[in-house]
Structure 1
Amino acid sequence: MVNALIRTVLGDVEPRLLGLCDAHDHLFIRSPQLPGQELGDASAARAELNAFRSVGGGGVVQWTPYGLGRRVADLPLLSRASGVHVVCATGLHQAAHYSPELLESLRGGLAEVFVSELTEGVGPSGIRAGLIKVAGGFHGLDAHARWTMTAAAEAHRATGAPIAVHLELGTGALDVLDLLCGALGVEPHRVILGHLNRSPDLVVQRQAADAGAYLAFDGPSRAHHATDWRMPDAVRALAEAGFGDRLLLGGDTVVAGARSADGGPGMPYLLRRVGPRLAVELGEELVERVFRENPARAFSVEWR
């Protein structure tokens, strides 16, 4: 893109300044689906960013959307103190994460909420979101997913913001692309598909990459998922098929116990262990591309 910028919580920056990037993670998140496991401690978030910075990290994309405890007003201070660029999201997760009353209040105006948060700022903070996060269902799209994705496409057309999609257990990628890029006309390279590592279907992954979408392999913080040990095979297969420029890596830390200070892998694990593991098998040039060049393109926008 010409004159494209990445919208961080400290303002728009040139893509090259993002540095080595955790393309999908959370500094704050609160949901009834995670009772008692909220990420809500600003000091812990700062420690995690500092730990990520200590291993060379330069940018973190927080996928926490509307209504899930983003604590957007805290993000600029954390970014400035740690020296790590932070991108925050607007958007809406699956219906199970919200009260019926909140969802009803958004009927008829969801796209406008997304556009406002991308252009005017989130609430009174004035801090603008840099991407739209939505979610699919298990092997399909329910009415809620279609509603939120339709609103996301409308907001994308108004702003150019990329759309990041939570794939439930890694499934439904092609249904998402059929809706967003087929029926709703979003260009595939503006769509980022998350959690593909949780359903290690190499055929579907290749089809999604061939369509032009970005593929995010995220979640080494998750136990009992097909993550670390299968992910290198998927990344290698996609790279050898010519899709090395479509790959992203993220940590997706969603509970306090997954943070590095609490004994979990946390954000630093991506650069401390995942990156070197991939470099042994795939070479440092590809790993550099996945951590630096690909997110710089995936999250950059000629803001409208």
Structure 2
Amino acid sequence: MPTEPTVQTVTGPLPTAELGQTLMHEHVFVLNADVQQNYPEEWGSEDDRVADAVEKLTKLASVGVRTIVDPTVIGLGRYIPRIQRIAEQVDLAIVVATGCYTYDDVPFFFHYRGPALNAAVGAEVPDPMVDMFVGDIENGIAGTGVRAAFLKCAIDHQGLTPGVERVMRAVAKAHRATGAPITVHTHPTSQQGLAVKKVLDDEGVDPRRVVLGHSGDTTDVDHLSELAEAGFILGMDRFGINLETTFEARADTLVEMCRRGYAEQMVLSQDASCYIDWLAPGVMDLLPQWRYTHIHEEVLPYLRDHGVTDDQIETMLVTNPRRYFENVGTY
């Protein structure tokens, strides 16, 4: 008999049929690990931070969300033991990632390892990132037993720098070795999704296995339609971050994409966190809608009022995330 498909979560494998409503790009914490380790007074009480996260995620679960997908990787302060403490106390599945987050260069750890040595040794040197990412997926992260379920990399307005391309190719190779899907932080206003397509096409990655994160940062629906037609899943995943845009602009872009028939190629989220140390105290007050429950409390009613159907919402919140994690082992 065929086995029931599952996805790895912080508390173990979960049948994909039980993922339920899934927010596809939410962090628990986003931290600068070196700063936090050396200036712990900024972080404060570990127990208080954990308790605050449990409270916020419990509130999220109360609106009907069953799963969050957390793309916190190297460069964003991933620390799985802390997430384990939280996951044990909330009625919410947390799916974690492996990969590397950079907009330009690779971390110094990788500068003189792998392909950086090709010229010196006169041969192609494998990238250690690939084995690291594969190990997180197949064996677990840092001895915790928690296995990553997807891969994460990034490209921003700086474009396809050598460092960004190296990480992206390492992620692609780990994807092909494991079947784990990919999420890419992108900068859609400079159409960096096209650069992602070029590299991943070259690496033989099926775009249907890839979420182009932050696609909702642009209102260029023709560009988004082009990416959807290429097969990518579009992450409409920054609802509430309205510094350079508006609530209506984000929501209306989603409405138009649904009207054009692309609900089956979009996923929803807010890119929120319980705590992000990138922001000085008080900055969050400028973004009152940037919270875990914004989609359910404000976005979904707006979508329904503007013609998006309940079936389309179910597709974006339930069906598409489930398909993303089920379609494993295609290579």
Residue 224 (1) aligns with residue 243 (2): yes
Asked if the contact 1:139/1:172 (under 8 Å) is kept, the reply is no
Asked if the contact 1:4/1:303 (under 8 Å) is kept, the reply is no
Shift of 1:6: 1.9
TM-score, normalising length: structure 1: 0.88
Shift of 1:131: 0.7
Measure the CA separation in 2 of the matches of 1:38 and 1:152.
31
Measure the CA separation in 1 of the matches of 2:174 and 2:218.
29
Measure the CA separation in 2 of the matches of 1:301 and 1:258.
40
Distance 1:43 1:6, change over 3 A: same
Deviations 1:182-236 (A, max 9, x none): 2111001111001111122111100110011100111234231335211232222
Distance 1:102 1:38, change over 3 A: farther
Identity percentage of aligned residues: 26
Asked if the contact 1:174/1:204 (under 8 Å) is kept, the reply is no
Asked if the contact 1:32/1:97 (under 8 Å) is kept, the reply is no
Q: Pick from 199, 205, 230: which aligns with 2:218?
A: 199
TM-score, normalising length: structure 2: 0.81
Asked if the contact 1:115/1:159 (under 8 Å) is kept, the reply is yes
Once the two structures are superposed, the pairs formed by residues 21-40 of structure 1 within 5 Å of their partners are 21-31=22-32
Once the two structures are superposed, the pairs formed by residues 24-63 of structure 1 within 5 Å of their partners are 24-31=25-32, 41-63=49-71
Aligned length: 301
Partner SS for 1:229: helix
5+ long unaligned stretches in structure 2: 115-126
Residue 175 (1) aligns with residue 200 (2): no
Residue 104 (1) aligns with residue 117 (2): no
Shift of 1:237: 2.5
Asked if the contact 1:48/1:266 (under 8 Å) is kept, the reply is no
**Structure with max Cα Rg:** 2
Shift of 1:259: 7.9
The more displaced of 284-293 and 166-175 is 166-175
Shift of 1:176: 0.6
Distance 1:264 1:277, change over 3 A: closer
Q: Pick from 91, 97, 102: which aligns with 1:94?
A: 102
Measure the CA separation in 2 of the matches of 1:267 and 1:258.
17
Partner SS for 2:29: coil
Measure the CA separation in 2 of the matches of 1:283 and 1:73.
40
Residue 209 (1) aligns with residue 228 (2): yes
Shift of 1:144: 1.1
Once the two structures are superposed, the pairs formed by residues 54-203 of structure 1 within 5 Å of their partners are 54-94=62-102, 100-104=107-111, 107=114, 108-138=127-157, 140-168=159-187, 170=189, 171-180=191-200, 182-203=201-222
Asked if the contact 1:253/1:259 (under 8 Å) is kept, the reply is no
Shift of 1:159: 0.7
Distance 1:32 1:197, change over 3 A: farther
5+ long unaligned stretches in structure 1: none
Asked if the contact 1:25/1:253 (under 8 Å) is kept, the reply is yes
Deviations 1:15-66 (A, max 9, x none): 2211111110100121389999979832222122111011111110001112
Deviations 1:80-138 (A, max 9, x none): 3211011001010115697x433437643011110000111110212101110100131
Partner SS for 1:88: strand
